Chain A
Amino acid sequence: MTPDLQCTNLTKQFGDSKAVDNVSFSVPAGSFFSILGPSGCGKTTIMRMIAGFLEPTSGDIQIKGKSVINVPPNKRHVNMVFQHLALFPMMNIADNIGYGLRRAGMHKKDIGFKVDEALERIGLPGIGHRRVDELSGGQKQRVAIARCMVLEPDVLLLDEPLGALDLKLREHMKVELKNLQAAFDTTFVYITHDQSEALVMSDNIAVMNAGRFEQVGSAQDLYYRPDTAFVAGFVGDSNRWSGKVVKQDGGNALVQTTSGLTLRGATHGRTLSEGDTIDAFVRPEAIRIAHNAEDLANFDNQISGTVTSILFNGAASRVMVRDTAGHEEVAVSLPQSGEFANLSKGAPIHIGWASDQANCFAAGAA
């Protein structure tokens, strides 16, 4: 089956700098694909090239197997939900949704019917006569999506559309967007700098940095098996240590950090040899915390230390633990099941993690 969207060796050069550097990916029909990256990484440039507002310097974009290079935006079966939604303030809601259909030359009666159907689908029936500024943020969001979806595009592009919403509504819209995607059964390409949006909604995520794709994979892949140090650092939180490989055997490496802490990590197939400088990443939530050292018997990294501070943040609470020798401070997730409720600053504590949870990357990669 031909993918809905395929980009091959896509490059965009602005002056001397490459905003997008030789990026290739394909998005299968009906899937939710996200491009995740910090601002300025080139993700908006990719989006605008797919929509047709920018021409790539080189490379090809195919939609449903057909190249769309040199096809103007109004002739592409791709629609875009803009960052600030770009609803037309001079029209009411029904005219906004019907705009594309009118442009396509559809009969007036059919437009009315289709608009009503779309409003029904987004759960806002009967608001067609209202003005744009009478709607709430979440309603505008849904109207902006409906305005594109009535045109039945092959691919829907979404350019950080949740950025302007407040936190609670954003959480709600994440689920809502995923449901809308399932309801319309259309391919979504979503760009964001917010990893939680990408992780929750996407079938596949591309992590982008400095014009290149660092890794493309499912949310679980990116989280558990980052390919590069950038991905390990960008997706989720991590304790990050620089150090040297002391001993290397198979997939495991014995590492000494610059401050002297010794730990076991995994290379997950990357070639590292003894003496290499590396960066090691361990997620706070991958570290087990215990009152007794015996509880950690099955972990090959075990550290005893004291609590230096407690950062309470509900479910995302952390404790900072300094090892007895005083080399490093380690951030550890604090389980909220009650057994550590009385933990206080200065208390002795034991922490441990499995070596394959410590990802080691050659230094200098990011």
Chain B
Amino acid sequence: MHREAKLGLILLLTPLLLWLVLLIFIPHIDLFLVSMRERVGVGQYDLSFANYLTFFQEPLYLATFLRTAVMSIFATILTLLIGFPVAYYIAKMAKGRTQSALFLLCLVPFWVSELVRTFGWMILLRETGIISNLLQSVGLASGPVEMLYNDAAIMVGLVYTSMLFMVVPLVTTLESLPDEVVEAGYDLGGNGLSVLREIIIPHAMPGIVSGSIVVFMLCLGNYLTPTMLGGKESLWFTELIYSQFIVRFNWELGAAFGFLLLILSSVIVWGMLRLTGQSLEKTMG
């Protein structure tokens, strides 16, 4: 390689490398080192697995961890089930201006912060909220109904927050499916269900997988929505991490939790890719 070309390559790569090293590698290595030490005296630390051991010995930690994983998976599936028909309509059935208008409608909620969006849901769902009042005035409820601070509320919030990140990759992959191919599916004797199963879903698989990965990670790492809509008892794993770092000032345990979350999301994403026979290059490329 010529020297100039080499210099150019280095210059082009520098921002990326700086970003990777400063913001990803160094913090994670430091996090890992913090998680691997145990405080034995004032300012004295030993190398040990004690923090990880604490996690496995305390049922609440483990239960919260698993609950977060299961709820995130469930939220991802729910988002996919709602997002797929929406994306199909936008990509294949809506034409021209309707198409862009619908796409914009998906985007509009994201112009305000997640905090504001979640407050919106609180206004709807709380005891003195709009839905509660409506039910009372119609006569379907005799007293105020509290719809906040339960798992369903968390689920609603998570699905709502994640919807765009599912719809966008789905619309992109579905748009690349020629109408002809779908028509050929019908022409050769397929019905709606078999065309969906044999043609549309296999074609949309990269979009489904990449959308699901993004949504799953967003749910798993979400702090705001579970805390605000689920209340104190929401038991989301990120809350545990927050309380270790900020409330209990136990950075060692917090770091260990952070690392466990990283491992969990990696394992689940890997498992999902294996299950669907997709590779990361194929879905992200």
Contact = CB atoms under 8 A, between A and B. Distances in A.
Interface in A50-101: 51-53, 72-74, 78-80, 82-84, 86-91, 99-100
Contacts of A73: 183, 186-187
A54 B187 CA distance: 12
B184 interface: yes
Contacts of B184: 80, 82, 86-88
Contact of B189 (A80, A84, A91, A104): A104
A86 B183 contact: yes
Contacts of A129: none
Contacts of B186: 53, 72-74
B180 A147 contact: no
A347 B15 CA distance: 74
Give the one of A73, A84, A148 with max B CB within 10 A.
A73
A90 B203 contact: yes
B181 interface: yes
Give the one of A72, A82, A86 with max B CB within 10 A.
A86
Given A83-B180, A103-B194, A88 B199 contact: yes
Nearest to A80: B187
B96 interface: no
Contacts, number: 62
Contacts of B191: 74, 103
A151 B184 CA distance: 13
A90 B181 CA distance: 11
A86 B189 contact: no
Contact of B188 (A72, A89, A100): A100
Contacts of B285: none
Contact of A103 (B183, B188, B202, B203): B188
A80 B190 CA distance: 14
Given A86-B178, A86-B183, A79 B199 contact: no
B178 A99 contact: no
A163 to B, nearest CB: 13
A99 B180 contact: no
Interface in A39-55: 51-53
Give the one of A53, A82, A87, A147 with max B CB within 10 A.
A82
B30 interface: no
Interface of B: 178, 180-181, 183-191, 194, 198-199, 202-203
Interface of A: 51-53, 72-74, 78-80, 82-84, 86-91, 99-100, 103-104, 147-148, 151
Given A52-B187, A88-B184, A88-B185, 14 more contacts: A73-B183, A73-B186, A73-B187, A74-B190, A82-B180, A86-B183, A86-B184, A87-B184, A90-B199, A90-B202, A90-B203, A99-B185, A103-B190, A103-B191
